[in-house]
Structure 1
Amino acid sequence: MFGTATTGTSHDIQAIPGLWRDAQGEAEALSSRGMHHAALRSAMLKDRKIVLMDRLGWDLQSLDGLHELDEYDDGNTLYLIVHQPETGRHLGSVRLLPSTGAHLLGDKFAHLCADGVPVGPNVWEITRLVTAPGLTRAEALQVRRQLAIALQEHALANRIQYYIMVTHLQWLPSLLSIGWDAEPLGLPHGEGVNAVAALRIHIDETTLQRLRAAWAIARPVLSPPPIGRENEQAF
C-alpha cells in the first residue's frame, strides 16, 4: 500500500512543493530500529491500525486494539519515518525488510513473481507505507514524496539496488505518479479491489536528483542514524 485510503492518481492533487511544515517547522525523516524513537513508533503503529484496519478493513492483527503489528515487526525491523520533530507527530512511514530473510513477498505472495522472487543483499522489500490519517490529500502527497526521497537516499547509502513490493492495483497509478523507475515482476492476481501485483523499483542517483528537482527538495531529507546505534535491537 502506498498512502492512505484514497485511490487514483496524484495528478489531480494541488501539490505543495518542498518539505511538509507546520507552525513548529519542517518535517524530518529518520531511520529507526531497536528501542529508539519508542513514542514515534507507537504513533506509527497506531496510524497503521487506523488506515489499514479501520479504514480499509484489512484482516490484520492488533493485539491491544490500538497498534497494528505482524510477524515482520520485531527488533530487527527497519523503518523510515517522516515526523514533526518538535511535536513528535507521525506523518508517514514505511517498513523495510531484507529479501535474504523472512518478508511478505517471499513468504505469501511469491506467486506474483513470474521468474521467482528477487533475492540478494542488494534487494530489500518495502511494505506498510502509510501517511497519517489526519493529513489533507495535498499534505499526504507531500509526505509521500519525502518518503520516496528518503527511500532513495537510504538505498544509495546502503548499496541497495532494488526495492520490491506488493501493491493493490487501485493504488498503482498513484505509486507510479511519484516518479519511481518501477517494473512489474509478473501478472496481477485477483479481481476488483483485491487485485494485487508485485513490483521492482530501480535505484540510481539520476532518479534521486530528478525527484529532488521536481519537488523542490534540494537537500537530503533522511537524517543519518546516531553513531553506534545502527545495530541495536529489541522493539
Structure 2
Amino acid sequence: MKKHFLISTFLFLILGCSSIEDSIEPSTEKKYYVKKNTTEIGGDIQVFEYRFDLNFRPIEFFKNNSSYFKIIYSNARVDKIISSYDNSYFSIFEYENNKLTNIKSYENNSHFKNTSYTYDQYNRVKKIEECNISSDLCEKYEFEYNLLGNITKWKSLSGNSNNYEINWELNNLSFDVMKHPFLNFDDDFKLYLLINNNSVNINNVIKNKRAEETNKYIYEYNEDGYPIKVQRYNVDNTLISTDFIEYEIQE
C-alpha cells in the first residue's frame, strides 16, 4: 500500500509539473529600437539613423548621411565611439562600480574634453559635466525625476569648477503612459545621447516649459505603444516641428 502511494505521488509530481510548464507561455512582447528619426523644422530636415548587431545593440549611427560613428563594445559595455570617416575623432568610455563615470574625447589624438556622470541613490544620472581640457570651461546639466523615472527638470549651466551660471531650465510638466522610443536601447549609449534628447525617459513628454516658452506634443503610436509621429506646438498652437520614427523590431 505504501509503495502504491509513493508511485502515485511521484506520478502526480511529474504530471503536475509538466502541466504547469505547459501552461506557461513564453513572452511575446516585441521590443522596438529606433532605426531612423526624421525631424522637419520649417524647411529644414534632419535625419538620424541607427544600425544594430544581432543582439540589437547599436553599432553605427549617422546624421544627415554626413556624420558617421561606429560603436565598439568590450565585455558587453560600450568601450569606444569612433568617427569612422577619418577616425580623427573618438571617445573612450570609463566605468566604476558598474556605472559609466567618464567619457574622454579625442581629436587628432589630442585629449580635448572630459564628460563626467554622477548618479542619485536610485542609480539615475543626476549630473553631467562637460569640461574642455585646455580652457577649464564647462557645461553642466542637472536632472530631477519623478517616481516613474522620467526627467521632470533639466537645468543647463556653464562656467568652471568655481563659478557656474544658469543658461536655461526646462520643466517637463506632464507625460503620457506610452513607451519612449529609446526605451530598449543600450543604457550606456542612452547616456551618451542624453544631452541631445530625453533618451533615458520611460514615457513621452506631453507638455514642457523653458523660460516663458511652453510647448506641447501630440503623438501617433503604433500597435505596441511606441511613437511613430510626434508634432511639437507652441502655446499659440503653431506647429514647430514634426518627427517621423521608424523601428527595428525584436520579436
Same fold (TM over 0.5): no
TM-score of the superposed pair, with normalisation by structure 1: 0.29
From the two aligned structures, give the one with the greater strand fraction: 2
TM-score of the superposed pair, with normalisation by structure 2: 0.27
Q: Is the radius of gyration larger for structure 1 or structure 2?
A: 2
Higher relative contact order (CA closer than 8 Å, sequence separation 6+): 1
